[in-house]
Amino acid sequence: MTMLDEVDQFAEPEAPLDMLESYFLAHGWPCERNEDEITATVKGSWTEYELRALWREEDGVVQLLAFPDVKVPEGRRAPIYETLGLVNEQLWLGHFEMWSSSGILLYRCATAVEARDGEATMSLTTAELLIESAIDECERFYPVFQFVLWGGKSPAEAIAAAMVETAGEA
């Protein structure tokens, strides 16, 4: 069941961080907010994700960062950079990156937000797409990064192993 099923799908657009906060709270995800940023914690299948949305009013852009709790040790960064290239080729929205200063792995996506009558608003559909695509991509590729970091697999082997589609039911 999606948020659209749980909440009035005809909900009025709200200010971007207000809409994201409503979405987080409707799902029961703990969140904290200040003037131009909101963070939430989401439990996934593999790990807990920190979602951080930043609102840049001067640019009319919401940027969403999803942190899948992966820190890459200095000696393992070269294969992860290769993995990032292969993974990002498969994404339609957003991308994964690694912060060079800390080795923290993250997913980043942004969307432009239209201003109507001088007020920037975000629809529920846009909020859902931004958040759910970040969570879905982190869930889909978390095993790939783990296979490379701790499983001793090459980036190509890790993607092949993690991307096997299962058929039927167990």
Q: Tens of pLDDT along 111-165?
A: 999 877 778 889 899 999 999 999 999 999 999 999 999 998 999 999 988 776 5
* Res. 167: pLDDT tops 90: no
The residue that leads in pLDDT, 58 or 105, is 105
What's the pLDDT score for residue 11?
64
146: three-class secondary structure by DSSP: helix
Is the CB of residue 77 less than 8 Å from the CB of residue 155?
A: no
Domains of the chain: 11-73+92-140 (3.30.1460.10)
* Res. 1: pLDDT tops 50: no
Burial 115-126 (b: 16+ CB within 10 A, else e): eeeeebbbebeb
Q: Tens of pLDDT along 37-94?
A: 999 999 999 999 999 999 998 899 999 999 999 999 999 999 999 999 999 999 999 9
* Res. 168: pLDDT tops 70: no
The predicted model scores a pTM of 0.86
Burial (Cβ within 10 Å: 0-12, 13-18, ≥19) of residue 99: exposed
Cα separation, 108 vs 96, in Å, equals 6
* Res. 95: pLDDT tops 70: yes
What's the pLDDT score for residue 13?
79
Cα separation, 166 vs 131, in Å, equals 25
Question: Quick one: pLDDT band at residue 169, thresholds 50, 70, 90?
Answer: low
What's the pLDDT score for residue 147?
94
Q: Which residues contact residue 7 at a Cβ distance below 8 angstroms, ignoring those fewer than 6 apart?
A: 22, 26, 124
What's the pLDDT score for residue 10?
52
